[in-house]
Amino acid sequence: MKVKCQIKDFAKDVSQGRVSCLFDVLNNIAIDSSITNKNKSEDNDLIAYDERTLALQHLCDCTLDDLTIMDRGYPSFEAICSSA
C-alpha cells in the first residue's frame, strides 16, 4: 500500500499491521496476542481487523473471575455482553 505524503518523492510502499495483546499485569505475562492486517486494499483480499474485534477475540481467554481493564474506545455493549 502507498503511504500518503504531501511530497510525492517520499511516498513509498510499506507493510502495516495491527498488534493486540491481552496482558496479565499481576504476573507480568502476555495471555494472548495477535498480529493482523491493519488495512484492506484493492491489492489484496485480506481481512482487516479493528481494535474492538481483536479485543473480543482476547476475551475468549478470560475467565469469569478475571478483571479486564480496557483503554478508552475499547469498551462497548458487545464486549460487555460477550464477557458475561
Round to whole Å and give the CA distance between 8 and 80: 45
Cα distances from 71 to residues 10, 24, 55, 78, in angstroms, run 33, 15, 11, 15
3-state secondary structure of 35: strand
User: What pLDDT is stored for residue 69 in this prediction?
Assistant: 83
Q: Using pLDDT thresholds of 50, 70 and 90, give the confidence band for residue 78.
A: confident
User: What pLDDT is stored for residue 27 in this prediction?
Assistant: 92
Is the pLDDT assigned to residue 76 strictly greater than 90? no
pLDDT one-digit tens code per residue, 15-66: 677 888 999 999 999 999 988 877 665 655 656 677 888 888 888 888 888 8
Domain positions in the chain: 8-83
Round to whole Å and give the CA distance between 47 and 35: 12
User: What pLDDT is stored for residue 37 in this prediction?
Assistant: 74
| pTM greater than the 0.75 cutoff | no
